Amino acid sequence: MDGPSILLPLCTRCLRLLSVVLVARVLAAAGCAPECNCSQFLTNCTGRQLRHFPAAIPLSTRQLILADNNISSLPALDLNYLGGLLHLDFSSNSLAEIPPSSLLNLQVLVYLDLSHNQLRKITHLTFRYLTNIIVLKASRNKELSFIDSRAFSANHKLQEIDISGNGLTFIDAGMLETLPHLRSVRLSGNPWTCNCNTQTLTSWMKLNRRIIPDAANVTCTFPSPLQGVLVVEAADKLFSLCRSKRQLKLREVLYFCLIGPGLFSASIILNLTFSLLMAHFNRFKKKELKRYRKLRRAISFKYSKRSNVITQEITAKANTNMSVCRGTECNQ
Ligand SMILES: *[C@@H]1O[C@H](CO)[C@@H](O)[C@H](O)[C@H]1NC(C)=O
Ligand SMILES: *[C@@H]1O[C@H](CO)[C@@H](O)[C@H](O)[C@H]1NC(C)=O
Ligand SMILES: *[C@@H]1O[C@H](CO)[C@@H](O)[C@H](O)[C@H]1NC(C)=O
Ligand SMILES: *[C@@H]1O[C@H](CO)[C@@H](O)[C@H](O)[C@H]1NC(C)=O
């Protein structure tokens, strides 16, 4: 009974404490860090060799520039105080990853530059909450080799994407196709793979050449025979090559679906016929054997009968001979 009445004031107290801490933090964040130049809406901290996100940024900031520093991680919370941020330039830093929570509250952000960092992948959560983003730059992240096919599924307002100069060998063209306002995609400087598995991408690039400003520099790197060939040119070769391959595959499928089972059933029928014949032959053989046995028995019976007769005759003869010889010299 006493439990809640004791806990309740305790809880309100800890809540009050928490909010005081939060407000203090927000107030601290509200000033202008000494490394930055702050005007009413612009906070510019370019090229200050910062290793960490600046401790104080005015809450009124609409444009935040942190370019040319050495910041290796985004803060979990601090960016989320800047709910009115429209423009964030984080280019030329050392970011290896972007925790999804750090961009959670940037719902009005329209411009994000993450170029020249050390990002390795873009997952389906990375830009999940940037529902108003229009320009997205993630070029020159040499190790960026994976972009999830759902990476932009929440970013319907995207108009410009720059993913040039990365380590991409493939991306799902479908994720670009579904962006209704897309009008520029930079793709050059990636080690693109041009084969039948990536054919949807190469075809997409060919069809959408007009929205790829650097299309004249988008080349294949793999496989080696196509190295240096423009992707839009490789797309034609791939189209016919992969079609004939598909036809070949179709033939194989046909073989396995029709000819294979045909041969199989033919062999079964042959087998069946053969075993039937064998069974018939065996029965015939058995019958013959039976007849043969019967015959042999009959012969042997006859023979034994005859031999009995002969033996009897011989014994009888011998007996008579013996009786004739008895007492005299039979050898003569
Ligand atoms: C930010 O500061 C840098 C260096 O002082 C300057 O070159 C750049 O033009 C500034 N950016 C803006 C938007 O004022
Ligand atoms: C801040 O402004 C001062 C004076 O205008 C300038 O010398 C300095 O380079 C600026 N710093 C940044 C980071 O923009
Ligand atoms: C950036 O920071 C890392 C350590 O976090 C350091 O090793 C490196 O020298 C720094 N680079 C520059 C250009 O300051
Ligand atoms: C293609 O690359 C060359 C050399 O890197 C560069 O000078 C040129 O401006 C690029 N063209 C386009 C359209 O990006």
Q: What is the CATH number of the domain that holds 118?
A: 3.80.10.10
41 C-alpha to ligand 1 centroid (Å)? 13
Which residues' Cβ are closer than 6 Å to ligand 4?
Answer: 188, 214, 216-217
Does 45 contact ligand 2 (Cβ within 6 A)? yes
Task: Please check whether residue 69 lies inside any domain of the structure.
Answer: yes
Ligand 3 atom closest to residue 49's alpha carbon, by position in its atom list: 14
Residue ranges making up the domain that contains 129: 28-247
Residue with CA at minimum distance from ligand 2 atom 8: 37
Residue 184's pLDDT is: 98
User: Helices in 255-330 by DSSP H: which ranges?
Assistant: 260-325
Does 319 contact ligand 3 (Cβ within 6 A)? no
How many distinct structural domains can be found in the chain? 1
Q: Which ligand is nearest to the CA of 89?
A: 1
Task: Please check whether residue 17 lies inside any domain of the structure.
Answer: no
Best probe residue, ligand 2, of 32, 35, 37 (max atoms within 8 Å of C-beta): 37
Task: Please check whether residue 23 lies inside any domain of the structure.
Answer: no
Q: What is the mean pLDDT of each run of 10 residues along the chain (332 residues)?
A: 46 51 53 94 97 94 98 92 96 95 95 98 96 98 98 98 98 97 98 95 96 97 95 90 80 70 77 82 77 75 66 67 51 46
Residue with CA at minimum distance from ligand 1 atom 4: 46
Instruction: Compute the residue count for the chain.
Output: 332
Asked if residues 230 and 219 have their Cβ atoms less than 8 Å apart, the reply is yes
**How many whole angstroms from its chain centre is CA 181?**
29
Residue with CA at minimum distance from ligand 2 atom 2: 37
Q: How many CB atoms lie within 10 A of CB 282?
A: 10
Best probe residue, ligand 4, of 139, 190, 214 (max atoms within 8 Å of C-beta): 214
Residue 244's pLDDT is: 82
Task: Please check whether residue 169 lies inside any domain of the structure.
Answer: yes
Residue 85's pLDDT is: 97
**243, two tokens:** 């079609």
Residue 315's pLDDT is: 66
H or E element at residue 254: helix 231-254
**Rounded distance, CA 56 to CA 50, Å?**
13
87-89/111-113 β-pairing = parallel
42-44/37-38 β-pairing = antiparallel
53 C-alpha to ligand 4 centroid (Å)? 34
Task: Please check whether residue 291 lies inside any domain of the structure.
Answer: no
Residue 264's pLDDT is: 73
Task: Please check whether residue 77 lies inside any domain of the structure.
Answer: yes
What residues contact 129, with CB distance under 8 A and at least 6 apart? 100, 103, 104, 105, 106, 107, 154
Does 72 contact ligand 3 (Cβ within 6 A)? yes
Does 62 contact ligand 1 (Cβ within 6 A)? no
Does 51 contact ligand 3 (Cβ within 6 A)? yes
Asked if residues 254 and 246 have their Cβ atoms less than 8 Å apart, the reply is no
Q: Which ligand is nearest to the CA of 41?
A: 1
Residue 291's pLDDT is: 79
Asked if residues 157 and 182 have their Cβ atoms less than 8 Å apart, the reply is no
Does 153 contact ligand 1 (Cβ within 6 A)? no
**Rounded distance, CA 107 to CA 278, Å?**
83
Task: Please check whether residue 125 lies inside any domain of the structure.
Answer: yes
Task: Please check whether residue 301 lies inside any domain of the structure.
Answer: no
Residue with CA at minimum distance from ligand 2 atom 7: 37
Residue 64's pLDDT is: 98
Does 46 contact ligand 1 (Cβ within 6 A)? yes
